[in-house]
Structure 1
Amino acid sequence: MSFDNQVFVWLHLLVSLLLQPVTWGLFGLLALAVMDIGITLGERLGGLARWRRLALPEIERRARKRLDRADLIARVGPMLGLMGTLIPLGPGLAALGEGNVQILSVAMRVAFDTTVLGLLAGVIGFALGRLRRRWYDELLDELEAEGNQHATSLAQ
C-alpha cells in the first residue's frame, strides 16, 4: 500500500507541475492567433494579389505553411484548454472533501478560464484555416485558368 500511495503522490505532483506550462502554452497560442489574424487581414487587403507574381510552387509552399499554422492553433488550443480544465479539478475536489470551498472556487475558476481560452484559440484557428483555404483555392484556380488561357492562345 505504501508504494501505491507514493506513486500517486508523485503522479499528482507531476500533473500539478503541468498547469503553468499549459497556461503559458495557451497564452502563446492566443498570441500566435492574434498575429495570424493580422497576417490574414494583410492577405485580404492586397497581400494575395502580390502572390500572383510568385511561382506556383512558392505559392503552394506559403499557403501550406500558413494553413498548417492555423490548423495547429485550431487543434492544440482545445487540447491545452482541456488539460487546463482537468489539472486544477483534482486539488479542487480534494479541497471540497476537506470542506475548503475557497480552494475549490479558485480551482473551478482556473478550470473554466483555461477552457474558454483553449476554445477561443481553437475557434480562431479554425476560422482562419477555413477562410484561407477558400482564398488559396480561388487564387490557384484563377492562376490555373490564366495558365490554360495563355497556353490556348499560344497554341493558336
Structure 2
Amino acid sequence: MDIGAILKSFIYLIASSLLYPVLFLLVIATLWIMIFSGSFFAEWLERLRFTKYEPVQLPHIIRQGKDRSMFSHRVAHYTQTLEALANKNEMTEPEVENIFQESTLRMWKSMDMLRIMVRLAPGLGLIGTLIPMGTGLAALGQGDMTKLSTDLVIAFTTTVVGLAVGMLSFFFYTVKRRWVEEDIKHMELATELLAGGERE
C-alpha cells in the first residue's frame, strides 16, 4: 500500500471539494458588500448634510438639545435616551455608564463584518485561484486545453472578485471607523454634559 499516493489523493479530494463552497462564499461576499455599499452611502449623504459648528459651540448646543442636525442618528438617539432618563429622574451613574458602554459596543460590533471581509475575501480569492490552477495543470498534462482554459478563467476571476471585495471592505472600514470614533466622541461629551450635570 502506497501511503504517499493515498495522502496525495486525499488532499487533492479535499482541495477539489472546497472549490464550490469558496465560489459560493465569494458570491455571498459580493452581494453583502453591494448591500453594505447602499447603507454606507446613505450614511455618507446623511453626514454631508450635517450643520457645521465650531468645537467650542458643541457643549452649548448639546445642553440646549434643539439642533440635532450636526449629529448622526446614533448620537441623536443616545442623547434623547439620556434626556428621557433625566426627565424621569432615573439617571444614575451605573445606568448611564451601562447605556454608554452598550451603545459604543454596538457601534464597534457593527464594524466586525467589515474587518472580517478585509481578510476573508482576498483569502477566498486566493483559494479560488489555486484550486482551479491545480486541476488546470492536470488537464494540461493530459492535453485537455478546453479544461485548462475553463479552469484559468475561474482562477483569475475569483482572484479579481476576492481582491475587489477586500479593497472595498478596507475602504469602507477605514471611513466608517472614523465616523464611529467621531460619534463616540460626541456621545462622551453628551454624557458629561447631560448626565454629569444631573449627578452633581
Partner of 1:98: 142
Q: CA deviation at 1:136?
A: 0.9
Tell me the matched-pair count: 156
Distance 2:39 2:186 in 1: 22
CA contact (8 A) 2:133 2:155 kept: yes
- Opposite residue 49 of structure 1, the aligned amino acid is S
Distance 1:147 1:15 in 2: 53
Q: CA deviation at 1:2?
A: 2.7
Which ranges of structure 1 fall in alignment gaps of 5 or more residues?
none
Q: CA deviation at 1:6?
A: 2.4
SS of equivalent to 1:133: helix
Flag the 1:108–1:147 CA change in 2: closer, same or farther, 3 A. Answer: same
Q: CA deviation at 1:146?
A: 4.2
CA contact (8 A) 2:132 2:154 kept: yes
For the pair shown, the structure with the greater C-alpha radius of gyration is 2
Partner of 1:3: 3
State yes or no: 1:50 paired with 2:89: no
- Opposite residue 4 of structure 2, the aligned amino acid is D
SS of equivalent to 2:179: helix
The aligned runs of 1:56-67 (5 Å cut-off) are 56-67=100-111
Distance 1:151 1:2 in 2: 74
Q: CA deviation at 1:128?
A: 1.1
Q: CA deviation at 1:65?
A: 1.6
Distance 1:30 1:135 in 2: 23
Flag the 1:151–1:108 CA change in 2: closer, same or farther, 3 A. Answer: same
Partner of 2:39: 39
Flag the 1:151–1:24 CA change in 2: closer, same or farther, 3 A. Answer: closer
Which ranges of structure 2 fall in alignment gaps of 5 or more residues?
48-70, 79-98
Distance 1:38 1:65 in 2: 19
Partner of 2:151: 107
- Opposite residue 70 of structure 1, the aligned amino acid is L
Superimposed CA distance per residue, residues 85-143 of structure 1 (whole angstroms, 9 cap, x where no aligned partner): 00011111111122222211111111001101111110121111111111111122233
SS of equivalent to 1:99: coil
Q: Give the helix-richer structure, 1 or 2.
A: 1
CA contact (8 A) 2:118 2:166 kept: yes
Distance 1:61 1:147 in 2: 16
Q: Bigger shift: 50-59 or 14-23?
A: 50-59
Distance 1:6 1:152 in 2: 70
Distance 1:133 1:104 in 2: 43
Q: Bigger shift: 59-68 or 43-52?
A: 43-52
Partner of 1:136: 180
State yes or no: 1:121 paired with 2:165: yes
CA contact (8 A) 2:108 2:180 kept: no
Q: CA deviation at 1:71?
A: 0.5
Give me the CA root mean square deviation.
Answer: 2.5
CA contact (8 A) 2:128 2:155 kept: yes
State yes or no: 1:75 paired with 2:119: yes
